């Protein structure tokens, strides 16, 4: 009796798992580290954060291409393959409650939480797609597209004022951080970088410290965003952002782009009044 044909994933399992592991480190993991570090600049003041956002948007029309090629496509690949792996996995922590085995299951669960979180985060802040019709008719009515790159700190801060959102973001950031830190350790085993038990133990300690430090950076950035999005801090942030926008217009570094600004930005005169 002929055996049923193997699936594409089964036939190419070795290659797909290696690509899945690699994509989780570069570019997805590397981008996450840079993203959290950039967001943490808000704690140095809205001007520092705004300057970093301007440097990113200096890519102009190339920015969507860079985002899709180096961020979204690798992220989608890593997520889809991760879901496929989870769907075929059999959790056994209940029967074999060893720490390494628990981390195996935590890696899968943190990956699923991270997937849902990133999916919502991109919609909440950026609306998924740059199409004007989509943003106006789909994203905005359903609570998305809150971030405005030319009012970076203030728009992000205002979007995080809900207790539900801030808790959801904190859980999401921690899930992403754990998934990356533990993923680096498992990738080292997968790629044969640390083979002996002693090497694996040392690597685990290094990855743990890295994860803790990155979690501090991520949660610190989240706290900074929340703080700048309320009261007098929000007004001061908008004033700084508007001055930076007007300065760059006057020097020719920017062309007017109202859709990249908050819909009702507060002017310096309004703040003084």
Q: Would you kindly state where each structural domain of the chain is located, as residue ranges? A: 19-272
* Cβ 271 vs Cβ 239: under 8 Å: yes
CA 80, 220, 142 angle in degrees (round to 5)? 50
Of 7-21, 115-129, 206-220, the poorest mean pLDDT is in 7-21
Instruction: Note the pLDDT tens digit of each residue in 75-126.
Output: 999 999 998 888 875 455 555 556 677 888 899 999 999 999 999 999 999 9
| pLDDT band, residue 10 (cuts 50/70/90) | confident
Give the E-state strand segments of 112-160 in sequence order: none
Q: What is the pLDDT of residue 3?
A: 62
Give the residue-averaged pLDDT of 8-14.
77
Give the residue-averaged pLDDT of 242-253.
93
Q: What is the pLDDT of residue 8?
A: 72
Using DSSP, state whether 3 is helix, strand or coil. coil
Cα–Cα distance for residue pair 127/165, rounded to 1 Å: 16
Q: Is residue 86 exposed (0-12), middle (13-18) or buried (19+ Cβ within 10 Å)?
A: middle
- Assigned CATH for 19-272: 1.20.1300.10
pTM, 2 dp: 0.89
Cα–Cα distance for residue pair 51/192, rounded to 1 Å: 41
Using DSSP, state whether 270 is helix, strand or coil. helix
Give the residue-averaged pLDDT of 62-68.
90
Alpha carbon distances (Å) from 38 to 30, 105, 109, 132 = 12, 30, 27, 27
Instruction: Note the pLDDT tens digit of each residue in 141-170.
Output: 999 999 999 999 999 999 999 999 999 999
CA dihedral of residues 262, 264, 265, 266 (deg, nearest 10)? -160
Q: How high is the mean pLDDT of the chain?
A: 89
Of 37-41, 45-49, 103-107, the poorest mean pLDDT is in 103-107
Q: Residue 7: which residues within 8 A CB-CB, separation 6 or more?
A: none
């Amino acid at each position: 009796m002929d055996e049923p044909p193997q699936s594409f994933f089964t036939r190419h399992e070795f290659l797909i798992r290696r690509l899945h592991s690699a994509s989780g480190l570069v570019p997805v993991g590397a981008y996450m580290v840079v993203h959290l570090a950039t967001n943490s600049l808000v704690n140095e003041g809205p001007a520092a954060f705004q300057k970093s956002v301007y440097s990113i948007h200096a890519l102009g029309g190339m920015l969507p291409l860079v985002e899709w090629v180096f961020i979204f496509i690798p992220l989608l690949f890593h997520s889809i393959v991760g879901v496929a792996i989870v769907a075929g996995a059999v959790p056994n922590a209940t029967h074999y409650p060893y720490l390494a085995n628990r981390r195996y299951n935590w890696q899968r669960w943190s990956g699923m939480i991270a997937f849902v979180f990133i999916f919502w985060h991109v919609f909440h802040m950026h609306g998924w797609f740059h199409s004007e019709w989509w943003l106006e008719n789909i994203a905005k009515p359903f609570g998305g597209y809150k971030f405005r790159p030319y009012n970076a700190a203030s728009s992000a801060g205002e979007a995080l004022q809900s207790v539900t959102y801030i808790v959801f973001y904190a859980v999401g950031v921690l899930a992403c951080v754990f998934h990356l830190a533990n993923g680096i350790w498992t990738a080292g085993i997968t790629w044969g970088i640390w083979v002996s038990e002693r090497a694996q133990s040392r690597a685990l300690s290094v990855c743990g410290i890295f994860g803790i430090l990155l979690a501090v950076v991520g949660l610190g950035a989240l706290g900074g965003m929340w703080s700048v999005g309320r009261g007098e801090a929000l007004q001061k942030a908008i004033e700084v952002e508007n001055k930076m926008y007007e300065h760059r217009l006057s020097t020719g570094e920017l062309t007017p782009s109202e859709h990249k600004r908050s819909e009702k930005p507060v002017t310096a005169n309004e703040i003084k009044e």
